[in-house]
Structures are given as structure tokens and as C-alpha cells.
Structure 1
């Protein structure tokens, strides 16, 4: 009888551990990358609240994303930011990437080569990570040390996307998304 209880207990523990492992494997996200280089130039972009057009010192590029997403890089010298497009709807990210940017001056994504998409086990895009370069405000602009960057992590399950946080490295940015998207 005592041996039967131990066997039953061990079988239950084994079952729970296997289920926990299966759940962790199902919820794990992976990364795919698309380029912000070699994108098509666009003359005009009609946003919900305003129209953007190319002008001297500015530009609009349309880059391919994944899962039906497109990414527009809006280069509004000396700042740049992104607009996401999905299902013919546009989500400007200028508030998160420029207006609310408090860690330095002149936030810029135009120099970024890639964006990182976090996808679920079905291959559906659920998160976006993009590097934003900026000029540190606590160091002279003439110093090479004034150049810095941070990674913005966006939850893109809903539209418009929401900024989950800003990280200093890829592991931190992925962790922000992975925790929020479980």
C-alpha cells in the first residue's frame, strides 16, 4: 500500500512536470528579421490624422514586414520613426519613438538595418523590436561617446501596437516581450 502511494505520487509529479514542459514549449517565442534597408521610396503617406509627404531633408520608405505587415520609415531629419501597416490600417509610432522619447536627443531609426519580429509557435507576429539611435544629452554632441541606442519592444497583437518598454540589449528586449506575451 505504501509503495502504491509513492508510485501514484511519482506518477502525478511526472505528469505535472511533463505538462509544465509542454506548456513552456508552446508559449515560447522565436525571432524573425526583416530589413529596413533597400526599401521602396513613397511620395506620400496618408495617416489617420495627417498626410506626410517627401520634402527637403525628409523621406518615406516602405519596407516589407511579415504576416501582412509593412513598415514605413519616416525620416524627418534629424529624427526618424516608424509607421506600421496591417490590413490597410496605419499605426504611426511617432509618439512613442519621438514625442515621448526622454532618454536623449534626436531619436533615429533610419540607420537601423533590421527589425526583429517575435512570433508565436504558429508563426504569427506578436511582437516587434526596433533599435533607436540617439544623442545622449549629458555628453557633448562633438564626442563620439554621445552616440547611444536603445531597443523598443512593442506588443503588436492589438492594433495600434503598444510600447512595452525600452531595453539596452536584445536579451532584455526579448524578455520584455516574452513575459508580456505569455
Structure 2
């Protein structure tokens, strides 16, 4: 029995790394709690107010601005950096997966997945999405936005942290076209 355990342990040492596993990938976290965010600049606040939207800017990373935006019915995130932009309000793939009344929630933080150089490659966040069969109740779903594309794009949704990280760390993929 001891020989079997030793043999199994030695065998595990020589297994190839998991396919698709990214080397050197790490995470950083930002809070989206209201008390950790601040008012958006006046010009942006005015533009948002004209659309019936309120917002706060939360701590971003590596030049990425993280906006927490909301109306009476729903809330979403928007990411901006150097002319690149992704918004849950504008991405058809995100809206298709969430329906009209999704809200950011279930976690006070977002997870930035970093590449080997420490640059954000993806953002993972949690949203409360109305259940298809009972819209009064919500499912808690993780969404992954790829940031390592010319324009950020939705990579997909996941039901666990591990699945969301695998999506974020895997080959760059987008659902549909990147939002304008």
C-alpha cells in the first residue's frame, strides 16, 4: 500500500501541466462598494444624467477606469482606457445573457486577472440575473470581460470562480462582436 502511494505521488510529479492553464497569471481586486467609489467627473455626470443614469467611479487598475452605473431598474459596469470602452448597457451579448433587469451584486469586489507582465487581461464580476422561469428570483452569475483585445469584449459567463478564471485565462474569445 505504501509503495502504491509513493508511486502515485511520483507519477503526479511528471504529469504535464493542465491544458490551457496560463503561466504566471495572478489576480488583483477592486472594491465596488459605494463607500470605496467616488462621484464621476462633472462632464461625465452631466452626460449620464441626460440619459437618466447615475454613476460612481470605483478603483480601477493599470489605467482602466471602472464605472458603476445604474438606473432605477438595473445596474452595470463600464470600463474605459485610452479610447477602449466596454459597457454592460451597450454589449448585445451581455444584454442577451442578463435580460433587461440585471444588477451588479453578490460581491463587493471585482477580480482583475493579470498576465505575466502584470497587465489586466480580463475582469470578472458578479451580477444578479433574473431567473428565466421565475423572474422574481435571481441567479448569481459571474461574467468575464476580456481586456487583452483592441476593444474589450464579453468572453462569457460562469457559475463558479474556477470556471470564470479558466475563461479569463484561456485563449482570447469574445461572444459576438466587441461593443462600439
**Do Structure 1 and Structure 2 share a fold, with TM-score over 0.5?**
yes
Preserved contact between residue 73 and residue 110 of structure 1 (Cα < 8 Å): no
RMSD: 3.2
Question: 3-state SS of the aligned residue for 2:101?
Answer: strand
Aligned 1:25-104 pairs, distance under 5 A: 27-37=23-33, 38-42=36-40, 43-45=42-44, 51-53=47-49, 58-87=53-82, 89-96=84-91, 100-103=95-98
How high is the TM-score relative to the length of structure 2?
0.71
Q: Once the 2 structures are TM-superposed, how far is the Cα of residue 155 of structure 1 from its aligned partner?
A: 1.0
- In the alignment, what sits opposite 1:154? 145
Q: Once the 2 structures are TM-superposed, how far is the Cα of residue 106 of structure 1 from its aligned partner?
A: 1.1
Q: Once the 2 structures are TM-superposed, how far is the Cα of residue 64 of structure 1 from its aligned partner?
A: 1.5
Larger radius of gyration between Structure 1 and Structure 2: 1
Q: Once the 2 structures are TM-superposed, how far is the Cα of residue 80 of structure 1 from its aligned partner?
A: 1.1
Partners of 2:72 and 2:102 in 1: how far apart? 10
Preserved contact between residue 88 and residue 95 of structure 2 (Cα < 8 Å): no
Partners of 1:25 and 1:136 in 2: how far apart? 32
Q: 1:25 to 1:63 in 2, by over 3 A?
A: same
Question: 3-state SS of the aligned residue for 1:27?
Answer: coil
How high is the TM-score relative to the length of structure 1?
0.70
1:39-98 residue CA offsets vs partner (Å, 9 max, x unmatched): 01225528xxxx322787x52101121111110111112111111121365433323388
Gaps of 5+ in 2: 1-13, 173-180
Q: 1:112 to 1:45 in 2, by over 3 A?
A: farther
1:128-165 residue CA offsets vs partner (Å, 9 max, x unmatched): 11111122131262xxxx12111111110124211111
Gaps of 5+ in 1: 1-16
